[in-house]
Amino acid sequence: MDNCFQDHGNNNNGTAVISTVASIAASAMLIRTIVYDYIPHEIINFFNLKFHDMKRFFSSQLTIVIEDFKGVSKNQVYEAAEVYLGSKGTLSAVRVKASKSMEDKNLAFVMDKNQEVCDDYEGVMVRWKLCCEYVASAGNKEHPDDINASLKSEVRSYELTFHMKHRDKIFNSYLPFVLEKAKAIREGNMALKLHTIDYDHYWVGEVKFCHPMSFKTLLIDDELKKEIVDDLEKYVNGKEFYKRIGKAWKRGYLLYGPPGTGKSSLIAAMANYLNYDIYDLDLTSVSTNKDLKNLILGMSNRSILVMEDIDCTIKLPNREEEKEDNNNNNKEADKSEDSKVTLSGLLNAIDGLWSCCGEERIIVLTTNQKEKLDPALIRAGRMDMHIHLSYCTFSAFQQLAFNYLGISQHKLFEEIQGLLGKVQVTPAEISGELTKNINSKEPLQELVRFLHSKDMVQEPQEISDLLPFAVIGSRLQELSCYCL
């Protein structure tokens, strides 16, 4: 019986609590209605500000607001945060947006509105939130001074919140880190372009560079390939080194060797490895040294300037010839000299004072005959690395056999290795033979026959190279006498 009375008392107490809460809620609603109907908004806003100031005074959190626009221009910090948080948002945000443009190689992700992402930077926890405030029209009275209202239907901003004690670290280290990280993500996701020049001497960059060559499939000697990759790595990571020694952040490569040995393929592999645009400069399309300088200045950073067959495109007189021309030619000849590209003009464009107006650039010259080039053009400091691409080696053949036939060992490999040691054949020729015989039952046997035929053709030439003409004539005379 006592329990019954006790339960009945508890029920009465619960009912009384619910009634009290309901009465307080109704009173709060009534007070709120009276406040908003009869008290001026200026006074309400004043008390709201005071309340937030008091709350902020006792709070240990600091929030940085990063708006979408800075005046009429896009806020670079906002753009960097958007790119950086795209990689973070896919892991911790509930909603993300996916997009891809023609300029991108991969999908890009961004946070959706009002989503939050946490980030850990060197043990410091920070929280990002994307805030969106809708704007009805350009003349919205609630935002009379907001220039974003005239440009968009909503005002977006990121809120970065962290503990106050980490203020210096966030300002001086974390935000610069976000900017650099976003830059690297953007550069890595951009589709490569192949630029050439039009008749008005301007770069045209609408051609998407889709060459599939990589260092994995490049047909050159393995040791040389490793040496090139190591040199590229030192270059791209050497910004502070170049700054310390007082040199422009650029590097020059001279590729030389017979036709078909992979010079153009190496350039494509370098571009794909570094994710650099290619600027293909045909010197025959450039009229003057001034035009050449303007083209070099018009290149973007993180790019490769290519001048193929530099010994064949135009006649580049050496500096001694240029000096004689200046001393001996009349006024008309001097006027003609001003309307063509000279060696001095080329040297000044790629390695003079103007060369430091851009950074992280690579200059590549290709030639079949290195000895024809002026020493000033290929000296150390201009062409930092001379890469000789010779005839096909056995290691390059092994790569070819794997790429074309999917094999890494065969009974004919030993014979092919011996033939490659004495036959001058380019990787392009072997590629052509493998392509021609790829559907054959014995493609390598066909290749061996081809190499033997090359050996038979080249052997007499090699003998004639070793014997002087006088000796050959004497031997022929002896043979003729013997026959008689």
Which pLDDT tens digit goes with each residue over 310-323?
887 666 655 555 55
Q: Which of 388, 409, 444 is the last residue of a domain?
A: 388
Q: Please tell me whether residues 30 and 115 are part of one structural domain.
A: no
Please report the pLDDT score of residue 366 as a whole number: 94
The closest of 398, 460, 387, 464 to 434, measured between CA atoms, is 398
* Inside any domain, residue 113: yes
Banded model confidence at residue 282, pLDDT cuts 50, 70, 90? confident
Residue 117, number of CB atoms within 10 A of its CB: 23
Q: Please tell me whether residues 260 and 284 are part of one structural domain.
A: yes
* Inside any domain, residue 463: no
Residue 369, pLDDT > 80, answer yes
* Inside any domain, residue 180: yes
Please state the domain count of the chain. 4
The average pLDDT across 453-458 equals 74
Residue 461, pLDDT > 50, answer no
Q: Which of 331, 366, 388 is the last residue of a domain?
A: 388
Please report the pLDDT score of residue 51 as a whole number: 62
Q: Please tell me whether residues 244 and 369 are part of one structural domain.
A: yes
Q: Please tell me whether residues 371 and 223 are part of one structural domain.
A: yes
The average pLDDT across 253-268 equals 92
Please give the structure tokens belonging to residue 221: 């000697």
Instruction: Please give the share of the chain, as a percent, with pLDDT higher than 90.
Output: 17
* Inside any domain, residue 1: no
Which of 326-330, 337-341, 448-452 tops mean pLDDT?
Answer: 448-452
The H or E element that residue 230 is part of is helix 222-236
Chain centre distance of CA 102: 15
* Inside any domain, residue 477: no
Q: Which of 166, 190, 214 is the last residue of a domain?
A: 190
Please report the pLDDT score of residue 235 as a whole number: 93
Residue 34, pLDDT > 80, answer no
Rounded Cα–Cα distance for residues 400 and 439 (Å): 16
Residue 106, exposed/middle/buried by CB under 10 A (0-12, 13-18, 19+)? exposed
Banded model confidence at residue 105, pLDDT cuts 50, 70, 90? low
Q: Please tell me whether residues 292 and 428 are part of one structural domain.
A: no
* Inside any domain, residue 330: no
* Inside any domain, residue 266: yes
Q: Please tell me whether residues 290 and 401 are part of one structural domain.
A: no
Q: Please tell me whether residues 425 and 368 are part of one structural domain.
A: no
The closest of 389, 201, 342 to 279, measured between CA atoms, is 201
Q: Please tell me whether residues 168 and 214 are part of one structural domain.
A: no
Predicted TM-score (pTM) above 0.75 = no
Residue 192, pLDDT > 80, answer no
Q: Please tell me whether residues 86 and 49 are part of one structural domain.
A: no
The average pLDDT across 446-456 equals 85
Which of 325-339, 438-452, 454-468 tops mean pLDDT?
Answer: 438-452
Give me the domain span that covers residue 400. 394-458
The average pLDDT across 399-423 equals 89
Q: Please tell me whether residues 304 and 356 are part of one structural domain.
A: yes
| DSSP codes of every residue in 285-327 | G--SHHHHHHHHHTSPSSEEEEETTTTTSS----HHHHHHHHH
Rounded Cα–Cα distance for residues 173 and 162 (Å): 14
Q: Please tell me whether residues 225 and 160 are part of one structural domain.
A: no
* Inside any domain, residue 214: yes
Q: Please tell me whether residues 288 and 219 are part of one structural domain.
A: yes
Please report the pLDDT score of residue 215 as a whole number: 92
Please report the pLDDT score of residue 347 as a whole number: 87
Q: Tell me the pLDDT of the chain averaged across its residues.
A: 77
What pLDDT, in 10s, does the model give residues 118-159? 889 999 999 998 888 876 655 445 555 555 444 456 788 999
The H or E element that residue 195 is part of is strand 193-197
Tell me the one-letter amino acid at 171.
Answer: F
Please give the structure tokens belonging to residue 473: 């004539």
